[in-house]
C-alpha cells in the first residue's frame, strides 16, 4: 500500500477553487482501486475543506499538520493555547499586520484586509486563495464576530517582514512563521504555526498509524508551506506552477495544475 499526500491550492485545484480537474479525480480513484490511500495535505482548516471531502479522500492532514484524520479517526488535534493566541494577535495588530485566524469550524479576518490585498501586487497560490476567499466571502467572518473557538493557526499579511519581529521575540520558542515565496510585488503573506506540528509530521503520524514505511509515501505540493511534507515523504513532487525553492528540493517536477499535472505524475510514478 502506498500513501499519497496532496496539497490543495495550486496542486489539486487552481488556487481558491474547490473543484479538481476530472483527470486528477480519475487518477485518485484509480490509485485507490489499487489499494493505495490518498490524503489531502493542506493548510486549510476542516471548515474550508468541506467542499473537497465529497471526493472520497482517505483522510486529511489539515491546518498545516495540527489537525489530522485517518478515515473518521482523529489522530492529531492540537490548537494553540488561548494565551499564545492572545499574545500573537496583540503583537501582530500592534505592528499593523492583518490577520486571519482559523478554528476547526470557522475563520475570522481583520477589517480592511480585502482592501489591503487589492492594493498589493504579486502573489503565490496561497495569496490567490485568500484573495478569492475574501472577495467572495467564502465563509470567512469579521474578526469582531470571533466566538473564542480554539484556533490552529494565524494567517498574516503585511508589507514588511520587520512587522513580524515582535511576535517572533515573544513566541519564537514555540511557534514559527512560514513566509511564502512571492512572484513579484512586496506583500508579505504567511502563517504562524506551532513548531511541534507541520505537514511532514502529519505525514509521519499517518504512516505510523497505518504501519506504512515512509519510503512508500508520496507528496505533491507547490508552495513553501509544503516544504516539510516534501522533505518527509519517500517521493516528492512539485508542480511546475510551484515555488522555485520547492522545486529545488523535490525529487521531480510535474506539469502545472492547469495541465493535468497530478494525473500525469501519477502515471509516470506508476500509481495508477
Q: Does domain 3-78+197-268 have CATH number 3.40.50.620?
A: no
pLDDT at 211: 98
Domain ranges of the chain: 3-78+197-268, 82-194
The pLDDT tens digits for 157-195 are 888 889 999 999 999 999 999 886 555 556 788 899 999
The pLDDT tens digits for 110-134 are 988 767 766 655 554 555 555 555 5
The pLDDT tens digits for 221-259 are 998 889 999 999 999 999 999 999 999 999 999 999 999
Q: Residue 54: is its pLDDT beyond 70?
A: yes
- Grid look-up 507547490 returns 222
Contact 66, 205 (CB under 8 A): no
The pLDDT tens digits for 29-44 are 999 999 999 999 998 9
Q: Residue 137: is its pLDDT beyond 80?
A: no
Q: Does domain 82-194 have CATH number 3.30.1240.10?
A: yes
pLDDT at 119: 65
Is it true that 3-78+197-268 and 82-194 share their CATH fold? no
Q: Which three cell numbers stand for residue 236?
A: 516528492
Rg (CA), the chain: 18
pLDDT at 115: 73
Beta strand segments in the chain, E? 3-6, 37-41, 59-62, 67-70, 73-77, 98-103, 106-109, 140-142, 151-158, 175-179, 188-194, 217-221, 235-239, 252-254
pLDDT at 228: 96
Which of 71 and 118 is assigned the larger pLDDT?
A: 71
Distance between start and end Cα atoms, the chain = 12
Q: How confident is the model at residue 74 (pLDDT cuts 50, 70, 90)?
A: very high
pLDDT at 182: 53
The pLDDT tens digits for 195-216 are 999 999 999 999 999 999 999 9
pLDDT > 70 fraction of the chain, expressed in percent and rounded: 89
Amino acid at each position: 500500500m502506498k500513501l499519497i499526500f496532496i496539497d490543495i491550492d495550486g496542486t489539486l485545484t487552481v488556487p481558491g477553487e474547490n473543484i479538481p480537474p476530472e483527470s486528477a479525480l480519475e487518477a485518485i480513484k484509480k490509485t485507490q482501486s489499487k489499494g493505495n490511500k490518498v490524503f489531502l495535505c493542506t493548510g486549510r482548516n476542516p471548515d474550508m475543506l468541506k467542499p473537497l471531502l465529497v471526493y472520497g479522500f482517505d483522510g486529511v492532514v489539515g491546518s498545516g499538520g495540527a489537525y489530522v484524520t485517518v478515515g473518521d479517526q482523529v489522530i492529531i488535534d492540537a490548537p494553540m493555547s488561548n494565551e499564545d493566541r492572545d499574545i500573537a494577535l496583540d503583537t501582530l495588530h500592534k505592528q499593523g499586520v492583518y490577520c486571519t485566524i482559523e478554528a476547526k469550524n470557522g475563520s475570522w479576518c481583520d477589517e480592511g484586509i480585502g482592501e489591503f490585498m487589492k492594493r498589493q501586487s504579486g502573489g503565490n497560490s496561497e495569496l490567490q486563495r485568500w484573495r478569492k476567499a475574501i472577495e467572495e466571502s467564502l465563509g470567512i467572518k469579521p474578526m469582531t464576530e470571533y466566538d473564542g473557538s480554539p484556533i490552529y493557526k494565524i494567517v498574516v499579511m503585511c508589507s514588511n517582514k520587520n512587522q513580524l519581529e515582535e511576535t517572533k521575540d515573544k513566541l519564537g520558542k514555540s511557534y514559527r512563521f512560514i513566509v511564502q515565496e512571492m512572484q513579484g510585488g512586496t506583500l508579505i503573506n504567511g502563517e504562524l504555526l506551532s513548531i511541534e506540528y507541520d505537514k511532514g509530521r502529519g505525514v509521519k503520524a499517518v504512516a505510523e498509524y497505518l504501519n506504512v514505511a515512509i519510503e512508500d509515501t508520496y507528496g505533491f505540493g507547490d508552495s513553501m508551506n509544503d516544504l516539510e511534507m516534501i522533505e518527509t515523504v519517500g517521493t516528492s513532487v512539485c508542480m511546475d506552477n510551484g515555488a522555485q525553492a520547492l522545486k529545488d528540493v523535490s525529487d521531480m517536477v510535474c506539469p502545472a495544475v492547469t495541465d493535468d499535472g497530478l494525473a500525469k505524475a501519477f502515471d509516470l510514478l506508476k500509481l495508477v
